[in-house]
Structure 1
Amino acid sequence: MLNMSAHTLARNKFTSIGIFLALTFVLSAIYYSLIICSGTLGSGWGQFTMGLMWCPGISALITLKILKRDFADLGWKWGKTKYQIRSYLLPLLYTFIAYLLIWIFGWGEFYNKEFVVKLSNSFGFGEIGDGLVIACYVLLFGIFGTIRSASSALGEEIGWRGFLVSELYPNLGYTKTSLISGVVWGVWHLPILLFADYNSGTPLWYAMTCFMVLIISMSFIYTWFRIKSGSLWTAVLLHASHNLFIQNIFTPLTQDTGNTAYYIDEFGIVLPMVSVGFAIYYWSKQNELHSLEEKV
């Protein structure tokens, strides 16, 4: 009888996942089409991309409504603040390590003077020195940019870590949950990587390989924090901070030295290799995780 109940529970879990994934990709197809037709993520003043990022979250909410389950299952509680702080700072750490390696080995150069001139002009302070301009930019974006970045990251994370991870983890454990959710997360991005401008200009096979390695390895980190804290917000902060520091700070500040696109951003080789190291570290700490029910 116990075995039967366990099998029934697992079957129900995978049915809910099937509904969620079907809804996610059907809704996402609308925004894939709009972005691909225009050729850029900036089309529709960026609102097509925002809409796409909210498809997993909306799909998760619809799935719970269909199944008559509580929205609280998504892990809305804040949890311990130390995990939220670590979630925000961790992307800064691994991104800094990756770009420091890029600058040291000459695969890219610090800093992009043209970009800093634009920043200086936008501040309107006159000549205050490039170092101070960069510091002001990092500080302002690090605070207020995170809020804006979190508004889009929340849409994805309600779906990926709020719903999908919490459905997979009780039956499959940490490693399989991280792998499966990471593959799904990565595949969901591929249409805009392959058919729009969500890449850095390298060959598509190269950009896709680097990106998938990055996303899957990042999934081990996101899953660890989601289970350890019991909070969806760790994933939101990880995602928001990741996008912010890579896309708005480190990549724009890096000067192209010829083949820089093969090394920087989410589509170059360095960041995925660094993230693999972090993934291994958190995988080695999986014994610290307990059942999701104890945390949520």
Structure 2
Amino acid sequence: MLADRKVRGIVCFVAIAFGLAWLVALPLWLGDGLFDARFGTVALAVMSTPAMAALLMVFIIERPQGKARALGLWPLRPVGRLFVYLGLGLVVPVALVLVALPVGDVLGVYPGDFKTFSAFRMILNGQLLAAGQVELPLPIETLVALQFVNVLIGAFINLVPALGEELGWRGWMLPRLMVYGPVKAIVISGVIWGAWHAPLVLLGYNYPMAPGWLGVLLMIGMCTLVGAVFGWLRLRSQSVWPAALAHGAFNAAAGFHLVFASAGAPVNTTHGTILGWSGWIVPLVLVVVLVATKQFRHAAAPQLPSQESAEAPASDR
């Protein structure tokens, strides 16, 4: 009986999140797709749909007493543990994005230039030409180093839109899936998160050189591995905030493949970068280590709303 209620809740949440994502993305399908002037706004709106679904579950459908706790927004303690995982959320995703580039270069699927940064130099020269300037204002190495500062700033700027996803996937859904065990929870949540990207991926987003169906499959693979890392941060910290910051940092670092590429060589995300299969090698090793060392062992599936109402602390009501 309780298991049936859990399954129904998850199915309801997924149906709402997917339905809203397709509904919000519909103007792009009826318009110019990725070239639609509204693309940026629509993409941000799509990112908010898992949070909308989670809020509907918490405030209208399930209505637990500890609403903030049910979403992973509260409590923010112990503070020391929270800050440790916030720090890991800021560093680990960026490291995974970066390490994917030399791995892809060694395997011959990413055209890396880690010495002269020729692609980045070409991009900057184009921007300077458009602005009527001739020379770079700083040495190229300094400009590359500044990109790391931009990623740090971008991680916090991206925190709000990233929370639009994490509030649903890791905040609400993942802890409920943990009743099936960590490996199954990782795989199920990763498949769901990856498939949810279909409205944009089928238009050619993220994988422009792959057919739509392959892009969706690749997104599912990437989301399963990266989502496991985000899930580890959420479950170990017992808070959605480290996962949201990690997601923000991951998105902010996504452009690094342009910084370290060779000029004139196309980057095929089907094979290279963190999006492609070569970029999954290191995250896969990390996830295997996390599972083998039982890093998910303290995570417990949340109680059903009827149980939470009797046990939620007064500070969370």
TM-score by length of 1: 0.85
Secondary structure, aligned partner of 1:109: coil
Aligned residue number for residue 93 of structure 1: 95
Which range moves more in the overlay, 257-266 or 87-96?
A: 257-266
Aligned residue number for residue 21 of structure 2: 28
Q: Quick check: 1:131 aligned with 2:141?
A: yes
Could you tell me how far 1:126 is from its partner in structure 2? 4.9
Aligned residue number for residue 222 of structure 1: 230
Secondary structure, aligned partner of 2:46: helix
Aligned counterparts of 1:215 and 1:52: Cα–Cα separation in 2:
16
Q: Quick check: 1:108 aligned with 2:106?
A: no
Could you tell me how far 1:173 is from its partner in structure 2? 2.1
Could you tell me how far 1:10 is from its partner in structure 2? 2.0
Which range moves more in the overlay, 155-164 or 259-268?
A: 259-268
Gaps of 5+ in 2: 303-311, 313-317
Which range moves more in the overlay, 234-243 or 219-228?
A: 219-228
Aligned residue number for residue 276 of structure 1: 284
Could you tell me how far 1:189 is from its partner in structure 2? 0.8
Aligned counterparts of 1:254 and 1:40: Cα–Cα separation in 2:
23
Q: Label 1:39 to 1:293 Cα distance change in 2 as closer, same or farther (>3 A).
A: closer
Asked whether the 8 Å contact 2:169–2:193 carries over to 1, the reply is yes
Deviation by residue 1:67-102 (Cα, 9 ceiling, x = unmatched): 222322111134421111011100122222111223
Asked whether the 8 Å contact 1:161–1:223 carries over to 2, the reply is yes
Q: Quick check: 1:245 aligned with 2:245?
A: no
Identity %: 21
Aligned residue number for residue 151 of structure 1: 160
Residues 39-118 of structure 1 correspond to what in structure 2 (within 5 A)?
39-40=33-34, 43-44=37-38, 46-66=40-60, 67-69=62-64, 70-72=66-68, 73-77=70-74, 78-79=76-77, 80=81, 81-104=83-106, 107-110=110-113, 111=117, 112=119, 113-118=121-126
Q: Label 1:207 to 1:29 Cα distance change in 2 as closer, same or farther (>3 A).
A: closer
Aligned counterparts of 2:137 and 2:15: Cα–Cα separation in 1:
54
Could you tell me how far 1:253 is from its partner in structure 2? 3.9
Could you tell me how far 1:164 is from its partner in structure 2? 0.6
Could you tell me how far 1:254 is from its partner in structure 2? 1.9
RMSD: 2.7
Q: Label 1:25 to 1:288 Cα distance change in 2 as closer, same or farther (>3 A).
A: closer
Aligned residue number for residue 12 of structure 1: 5
TM-score by length of 2: 0.80
Deviation by residue 1:128-186 (Cα, 9 ceiling, x = unmatched): 211111112321x12221122222110000000011112221x2121111111111001
Q: Label 1:241 to 1:116 Cα distance change in 2 as closer, same or farther (>3 A).
A: same
Aligned counterparts of 2:35 and 2:163: Cα–Cα separation in 1:
18
Aligned with 1:167 (options 176, 179, 186): 176
Aligned counterparts of 1:30 and 1:250: Cα–Cα separation in 2:
31
Which range moves more in the overlay, 112-121 or 215-224?
A: 112-121
Q: Label 1:116 to 1:48 Cα distance change in 2 as closer, same or farther (>3 A).
A: same
Aligned pairs, number = 284
Aligned counterparts of 1:101 and 1:42: Cα–Cα separation in 2:
34
**Which amino acid in the other structure matches residue 86 of structure 1?**
L
Could you tell me how far 1:274 is from its partner in structure 2? 2.5
Could you tell me how far 1:28 is from its partner in structure 2? 1.2
Gaps of 5+ in 1: 1-7
